[in-house]
Amino acid sequence: MGTSTTTSTSEYQSHVAVAAFPFGTHVMPLLSLTKALASMFPSSHFSFLCTDHSLASLPSPLISNISFVPISDGLTGATVATNIEAKIGLFLKSFEKSLREGLKAAELVAGCKVCCVMSDAFLSMACKVTSEMSAKWVPVWTGGPQALLAHLNTDLIRETVGVGDEAIKAYGDKNINFVPGLSHHLVSDLQEGIITGDLNSPFSTMLHQMAHRLPNSSAVVLNTVHGLDSTVDSFFMQKFANYFPTGPFHLLNSTDTEPLTDSYGCLPWLDQHEPSTVAYISLGTIVTITPAELMSLANGLATSGVPFIWSLNEKTQPFLPPGFIDKVNETGKGKIVPWAPQINVLGHTAVGVFICHCGWNSVMESIAAGVPILCRPFFGDQLVNARAISHIWKFSITLDGMVFTEQGVIRALEVVLKGEEGRKMRDKVRELKDMVNIALIQQGSSRDNLKRLMKIVCGC
């Protein structure tokens, strides 16, 4: 990858390296945070380290004191990784070596030594490398706060309920009332790697090690807003030397906006609809929905009569019911596109509900737009997030059995868009939107935390 600036002498007051986890939706939030810091402190240089493949997919930062620095993905000419788990394992195995090499390359570009490594919290092995360099380590957690809380209490949870199928059988439907901040959650909500799945896999081991390393960091940054969950805030403030809830990351920097292009005409289409009447559907970029659920969701939308925009990749569209797309186009009741400018769509007054997988980026974007959520979580922290937004913040509804059925979709849309319960959800999420807006003003909590973070990572 090219770099945005190269110097042979040290023209910068400090040099911060940012190490991104190149899988899922981890990279963009970390880049947004990096851009916000770089804009605030132009005399610091920020080297953004990630794999070639991920860097190639990113828009140029357009900020002169940020450079992209490629690091190894762990693959070699003789190595074949056929699935995401294998790719993650190879990346993690080689990461410490790759980070050291990347930091050397970054220092050549910037012309000065790295004083701080700000890494995705997943990459807690960075703490060892930073210790060798006498540099600071600042991990960034891009997921939901309750999910991090669960990881930090992994040992306690295992001691209390056990592990594996037996633990789920005995405690799956029980609340985790022995962990403050998780009392609304069920044991079965917990992400894999805590008590279920292969606890010895590279990914599970990585997360368990992370939980033990984070308290030794210079600071921990979260993509959330102070006050969103005061119990969780209190735990993190006691656990970490410096706890900085600094979100939503996607709104920190005025230059960090989605492309103005709306190739498929989503926004003009929304202009034709009344406020809070349209369903927007996006299940993320990783989830593969089963053909049966895809059919149920499509039929539920059609039968409900609710107008909708559905961001659905072209590879999946052939699995929709026969004639569905043609009928949608003929009636004008819906719009199916391979990509939508999600933040702009959610911010449109016509959108009344977001049908999503409850990935944390989507949750924060929905809160920032003041739009209720219809939840269909799949894996990872999505079940934990879904429980939080439905039972703690109460601006969502979760599908029966957490799967799409035609009647379930119809009932849920009726509740959210037309019922009294839906009105209460809209009121609640708009309160949270106001909280976000206050946090982002000049003296707001997220802005203040960003300034405090800058002092640690940049030494200023």
Query: pTM score > 0.75 for this model?
Result: yes
Q: Which fold has domain 14-147+196-256+441-458?
A: Rossmann fold (3.40.50)
What Å distances lie between residue 5 and 12, 64, 321, CA to CA? 12, 6, 51
Residues annotated as catalytic (active site), given as ranges: 26, 120
pLDDT tens for each residue of the chain, 460 residues long: 444 444 344 688 899 999 999 998 999 999 999 999 999 999 999 999 999 999 999 888 889 999 999 999 998 765 666 688 888 989 999 999 999 999 999 999 899 999 999 999 999 999 999 999 999 999 999 999 999 999 999 999 999 999 999 999 999 999 999 999 999 999 999 999 999 999 999 899 999 999 999 999 999 999 999 999 999 999 999 999 999 999 999 999 865 444 567 999 999 999 999 999 999 999 987 778 899 999 999 999 999 999 999 999 999 999 999 999 999 988 989 999 999 999 999 999 999 999 999 999 999 999 999 999 999 999 999 999 999 999 999 999 988 889 999 999 999 999 999 999 999 999 999 999 999 999 999 999 999 999 999 999 998 6
Instruction: Give residue 4's pLDDT.
Output: 41
- Please say whether the dihedral angle defined by the alpha carbons of residues 418, 422, 427 and 431, taken in this order, is positive or negative: negative
Domains 14-147+196-256+441-458 and 266-437 share a fold: yes
Burial tier of 188 (Cβ tally within 10 Å: 0-12, 13-18, 19+): middle
Instruction: Give residue 80's pLDDT.
Output: 61
What Å distances lie between residue 354 and 111, 229, 282, 337, 454, CA to CA? 46, 22, 8, 15, 34
CA-nearest of 361, 346, 449, 457 to 26 is: 361
Domain boundaries, the chain: 14-147+196-256+441-458, 266-437
Q: What is the pLDDT of residues 214-251, one digit of tens each?
A: 999 999 999 999 999 999 999 999 999 999 999 999 99
Q: In angstroms, rounded to a whole number, what is the distance separating the alpha carbons of residues 214 and 124?
A: 7
Instruction: Give residue 253's pLDDT.
Output: 83
Instruction: Give residue 394's pLDDT.
Output: 96
Instruction: Give residue 8's pLDDT.
Output: 40
Instruction: Extract the tokens encoding 29.
Output: 């939030």
- In our burial notation (b when 16+ CB lie closer than 10 A, e otherwise), range 75-100 reads beeeeeeeeeeebbbbbbebbeebbe
Q: What is the pLDDT of residues 135-178, one digit of tens each?
A: 999 999 999 999 999 999 999 999 999 999 999 999 999 999 99
Identity of residue 380 = G
The answer regarding whether domain 266-437 maps to CATH 3.40.50.1100 reads: no
Instruction: Extract the tokens encoding 377.
Output: 């979580």
Instruction: Give residue 79's pLDDT.
Output: 60
